[in-house]
Amino acid sequence: MLSNEKYTGDVRLLKSGNSEVHYLSSDNNPAIISKETFEVVQIEKKRRSNTIKDENGIQRKTQKYTSKEVDN
């Protein structure tokens, strides 16, 4: 739910199947989550992602995110 923009009340519509042109229809349906919550979740998902994009393309990070703490 927190990954799908439709739950904020906005819908992206493609002009055609192969086109990168799209339209944003705001307030298309009742919002279930706020746009602020959606944006905060997207930022956190990007921070936790183990991929980075550089001049060579998409690469995996050497260290993975984990919420587990290691006790030594």
In a domain, 69, yes or no: no
Residue 15 located in a structural domain:
yes
| Residue 72 covered by a domain | no
Position 26 in a domain: yes
Is 29 within a domain? Answer: yes
Burial class (CB in 10 A: 0-12, 13-18, 19+), 6: middle
Quick check: is 68 in a domain?
A: no
With a cut of 80, say whether residue 32 has pLDDT above it: yes
| Mean pLDDT for the stretch of residues 30-40 | 90
Which domain range does residue 26 map to?
A: 5-60
* Cβ atoms 63, 52 nearer than 8 A: no
Q: How confident is the model at residue 8 (pLDDT cuts 50, 70, 90)?
A: confident
pTM of the model: 0.59
Residue 66 falls inside a structural domain? no
The residues, ordered by sequence, that sit 6+ positions from 18 with a Cβ below 8 Å of its Cβ are none
Question: What's the domain count of the chain?
Answer: 1
Q: Is residue 65 assigned to a domain?
A: no
